[in-house]
Every structure is written in C-alpha cells, then in structure tokens.
Amino acid sequence: MALPRLRDELDLLPGPSLADGQPSWTLHDPVRHQFYRIDWPTFEVLQRWDLNDPQAIADAVSQATTLALSAEDVVAVVEFLGLHQLVQPEGADAPAKMAARLAQMQGSPMNWLLHHYLFFRVPLVRPDAWLGRWLPVANLFFTRSFAWMTAVALLWGLSHVVRRWESFSASLVDTFNLDGLLAYGAALFLVKLLHELGHAFTAKRFGCRVPAMGIAFLVMWPVAYTDTNETWRLTDRMQRLKVASAGILTELVIAAWATLAWALFPEGGVKSAAFVLATTSWVATLAINASPFMRFDGYFILMDALDMPNLHGRSFAMARWKLREWLFGLGDAPPEYFKPLQAKALIAFAFSTWLYRLVLFLGIALLVYFYFFKVLGIFLFLVEIVWFVWFPIRSELKVWKARWADIRQQPKSRQSVWVVLLALVLMLVPWPGRVTASALLRPAEQWPVFAPSGARIEALPFKEGASVAEGDLVMSLYVPDLVVKRAALQARLDQQRWQAAASGLDEESRKRLLVNQQSLQTARAELAGVDAEALQFAPRAPYAGTLKDVNPDLQLGQWVSRKEKLGTLIKANSPWLVETWLDEDAVQRVRVGDAAYFYKDSASGAMLRLTVTSVDQDASRVLPKPELAAQWGGHVLSRDKNNQLIPERAIYRVSLKIEDADRLHFEQSARGHITLHASWEAPASRYFRQAVSVLMQESGF
C-alpha cells in the first residue's frame, strides 16, 4: 500500500526518556496547536517514511536497529497519523472526507449548543509580547531569596493566627454578609488573575510561547485559563512540573503574605482586605485547584510528577479493561503494560475519579435545577445527567454489545449475571425490618421544677434523692422585682381601702364612691395576681415522690436564670417508659405492639424488653428532649432556633412500655439506644418512596 504524505508544517521535537528507558519525541501540529508524544518505533518509522511501503519500512527498521517491526506495526502508525489528521488529504474524495469529518466533529446544532453550554473558552488577550517585556521583573519572584522570605512570612503569620485564633475565626464569621461576599468575589478575581500570570511567566522563563489568556466557562461558571500547551516542547519533566504547579504556588505565596499582613496591620480596611485574600487563596487552592480528579492544576501536577501524559485517558482505559475482566473474564491483554503496583494504582485512581465526578456532576445538576426556573432547570438537569453520566455508560455498553459473542461464551459472564440477579432480588424482596435510634428512659409521671425567671435561691429543704410528701415546699426563690411590686400594690390597696371607707363623710367623697370601690377591686385583683405569681417561686409537690436531677452546686443565695431546670420530682410508684422520635421513613415501619429492646449508653443494667404503645400521627415541630439531638450524641438532626431545637426532617413521637417492669427498679432517667423489630420492607422501596415524594413535591401535586 502507498503511504500518505506527511504534512509539511509538522515539527518533530526531542522528548524525555520514557519509563522503560527508551527515548521519545514530541510531534507538534502548529495549526491546531496539538502535541503528540511518540515512542522509538514510531520515530524510526517516520524517519523512513519516504520508502512508501509498510513492509520495506519494517525491514529497514529491523535491519538498522534492535527493533523487530512488522508491516502491521507500520500500518498502525499510519492509522494513528490519519486519525489525528497529521497526513495530507489525497484523492478526489479528499475534500468530501474532510467535510464529513468536520461535520462529525461539529455535530448537529443542538449538539454544538449543548457542548458549548457545558464548556467553552473566550480568548481575551495575546500576552506573549507583554510577558516578555515584564519577565525581568517577574524573575525577582523566582529567586531563592524571595522563597526564603515567603517561608518566614508564612511561619510568622501562622504563629499569629494560632495565638489569635478567636479573633481570626470571628473575622471569618463577620464576612458572611453581602459586603463580605462582594469582597470575596473581588479577591477571587484578583487571586485567579495572579494564578494565571504565575503559569504564564513560568512558561515564558523556560522559553515557551503563551499564545492566549482568557476566560473559560464550565457549566456557565467563569474560570480563567492560560494556554500553556507549548510546555510539551520541554524535554525536562521538572520544568513542565514547575509550570503546572506555578498557579498553586502563586496562590500560596499570596496567602502567606496576606496572612502576615492580617497579623501585623491594625484594624481597618487593609487588615480586612488581607484577611479576605488569605482565606480566599487557601480555600481556592486546597479545595479546587489541587484536585487531580478534574483537569485543574492538581491533575497536570500529578501527570508531570509521574511523567504520564494523558493520565485520565490511560487510567480510564485500564479501569474499563479491568472492569470487563472482573465481570466477564475475557482474557484480553491490558491496553498498556505497567508494573503490578502501578497498574493497581491507576485503576484505583480511575474509579476514584469516576466516583468524584458522579457526585460533582449530580451536585451541579441539582444546583442548575434549583437555580433556574423549573422548566429550564429540568432541561439543564437532564443535560447534565445525560452528558456526564449516561453518555460514558452508553459508550461502555456499546463495547459490551460489540463483544457480546465473546462475553456470552465466558463462564464468568454467567457468574456475573447471577450475582446481578441475586442483588436485584435482595433489593426487591422484603426483609425483616430493624430500626435503631437513641431513646430516653424516664418515669411516666414526673414534675419538672423550673425557675420562672431570674431569681435567688432562698431555701433548699430537700437534696438529691430525698423523699417529698404531697404539698411540701420543694424550694423557695426570691425575686426582688416581685417583692417590690407586691409592696407597692399592698400600699395602693391600703390607700384604696381608706378612701372607700371615708367615701360617706362628705358630698364630694360620696360622688366618688363607685370609683373608689372599682379601684379597690382592681387593686385586690392585681395583688392576687402577684401572689399567684409568687407561688410559682415557691413550688410545692403536687404528689408524693422522689426529688431527682438536683444540681449539686446549688447553694443558698445563688442566682439562677430564667427557665433553668432545678430538679425533677418523680411520683412514687410511677411506671417507667421509653420514648423516642423517629423520622417519617422509619416511623412508617413501626406499629403499635411491635417488640423492641433498650440498653443504656452507660452499658450498665440489663437490656430491657419493650413494646410499642403509641405512635403519634402528627409531626413534632420541636424536639422536646435535647438529649436525643445529634449535637448532644443522639440521632435527631436539628438546629437551634430561638432556644428551641427544630428538627431538619419531620419527626414523630413513639412511646414504649417496659415488659416485666414490676421486677425492675430504676433510680433515674437515662439515655440509651433502642432496636425496634419493624415491619418487613424491601431495601429498594425506601428509595422508590423518596423519589416519588420528591417528584410529587416538585411537580406541585
């Protein structure tokens, strides 16, 4: 077969040595600004391209070198060059082929729109000449002296942050407002501009051309970019690594000096700006740019550190091959040969990247759905799911379809089918249910003692565990405002009594008789109200029982705050019960009469057998027992609002009685965990109910 002619404008540049020790070269396509690394056999084939015959080239390479090539190896090189349009189009149908390929690359108008909605670039400047003029100034930041100064600034600044952490964290909280968000936006723009200049100047120092800088839009989110493809000309791997890491290092330098500025400057605008710059740089660097799972700086740094171009593509190919071997056992050769440990690391990296991207793209899809109005949000949500999730899966399924004849013949394929069917059965068949949650063991009848308002303790006749008779004074509290108010009302009442008694002495007082009597009744009612309020500060036992949960630090003369719990009176011979609050998913599986077990968190005492006695039909708006809140070691997710615990999801109270309670004796309330034997349920039903609930909620039904 006659070989196609190579394009005249292609550049062949020396490359670094590969991992196996063989030399490599870089093939540069200046029209599309693309670089391709080729190995030694490909280079030898290109050197003898003018022989114009695959077999002749293979024989010449085999005779002149230690390589043993065949005509098929040369044909593979021809196919590679043709696939990447590195040869000249020839023949009468060449224009038609080029037009068809262009149409295939561009796709339909809808495909073009969807692709460019997800990602497109807007070049803004051609900075190469400007970078050359300012390179002598930028070189000052690449010196070892500046690196040592930055390290000292970082340590100095961090030492101040550690010593003044409360002030630093308070500044972070204070910036969560509109002005703070605007400041962070401006700081992020500045940091990203300097980030890209770090890449650009580093590449320029090593003799690379920087043709463009601009803005790229990733799902309509603007991010700066710098075209540093010329770094593939560099044969030194460390130089490419320095270019890739220059952006992150620039942000870290900004963060170091901004942290020092925050520590040294007095309160004011400069200190606030330094704080915003420091936090923005740290967060943006560690949370975004350092990730190797997306094509950000972390990926290129890892790629250059391992000297493994196209790391994502090669690791994905290895993972897809390994997945087929796990599922079908086809016995195919791996796409590339690596050392066993290196191959395992690449496969693990690929699966981690897929999982990371799945979570990220689902999050972006949900953000798009909730950010835009519903019709557009649903459309963009579907675009995200189809483009980033379904298309990669569909691509792999096409490979399975093409290899179906081989797949169906493998014994391992049948094993995989049985495993999948078994998993589906396990997900769809109901299983005996079990619900676990934190719970509270307490007496059914108990009387909490609270301070109605701020007061001073006047009397504590009973201590912890003391027996209290019905009507006994549990404690006495003194409220100065209430005492003053009562004294004033008593004086007013005495005055009204005197006026009412003297109303018949003269004509003028007789005219005011009804008014004085009405005022006297009002004063008596107000005094009675104050006396009733005073009774709340002298609580008496409503029944005989035992006083529990008394703070041992309480002393006479000590002040207590409003609504502060001072103790609990447990009724004598009161039955005990266990109660908990379950979310709507769990409570649907619980019925009255279900069995349960309770054990204390302290692991003391025997396990208690329980029976569900009641399940509330109405959801609780607040969590009345803080012991069950997640922030206090319980299971109910809640947030504090106006000194009340508001559950994140609807919760329902479940009460349980203790079996054989007559033979058990409890001293005080205790928190523990319960295990409920709930109704049978298929594992998949919960997810199905949740999906239906979300669909109905979002559709407005």
Over residues 192-238, the pLDDT tens digits come to 888 889 999 999 999 888 988 988 776 566 777 888 888 888 878 88
Higher pLDDT, 38 or 503: 38
Q: How many whole angstroms separate alpha carbon 228 and alpha carbon 209? A: 8
SS (H, E, C) 597-629: EEEECCCCCCCEEEEEEEECCCCECCCCCHHHE
pLDDT over 60 (residue 691) = yes
Higher pLDDT, 37 or 689: 37
Q: What domains are there in the chain, each with its CATH number? A: 11-106 (no CATH), 110-304 (no CATH), 310-428 (no CATH), 436-443+575-699 (2.40.30.170), 446-482+507-560 (2.40.50)
CA distances for 676 relative to 33, 437, 637, angstroms: 65, 9, 20
The pLDDT score that the predictor gives to residue 200 is 92
Of the listed ranges 51-55, 106-110, 532-536, 643-647, the one predicted with least confidence: 106-110
311: its two tokens? 């790391």
pLDDT in tens, 358-389: 887 777 777 766 666 666 667 767 777 777 77
pTM of the predicted model as reported, rounded to 2 decimal places: 0.63
Phi, psi (degrees; rounded to nearest 5) at 608: -100, 135
The pLDDT score that the predictor gives to residue 149 is 93
The pLDDT score that the predictor gives to residue 700 is 53
Q: How many whole angstroms separate alpha carbon 494 and alpha carbon 140? A: 91
The pLDDT score that the predictor gives to residue 553 is 78
pLDDT in tens, 541-568: 888 888 887 877 788 888 888 877 788 8
The pLDDT score that the predictor gives to residue 501 is 65
pLDDT over 90 (residue 352) = yes
DSSP states of 290-358 as a string? T-TTTTSHHHHHHHHHHT-SSHHHHHHHHHHHHHHHHHH---PPPSS---HHHHHHHHHHHHHHHHHHH
CA 683 to chain CA mean position, Å = 25
Phi, psi (degrees; rounded to nearest 5) at 582: -115, 150
> Which residue has 């179906």 as its token pair?
404
Of the listed ranges 271-285, 552-566, 663-677, the one predicted with least confidence: 271-285
The pLDDT score that the predictor gives to residue 459 is 85
pLDDT in tens, 639-658: 888 778 888 888 999 999 98
What mean pLDDT comes out for the span 258-284? 75
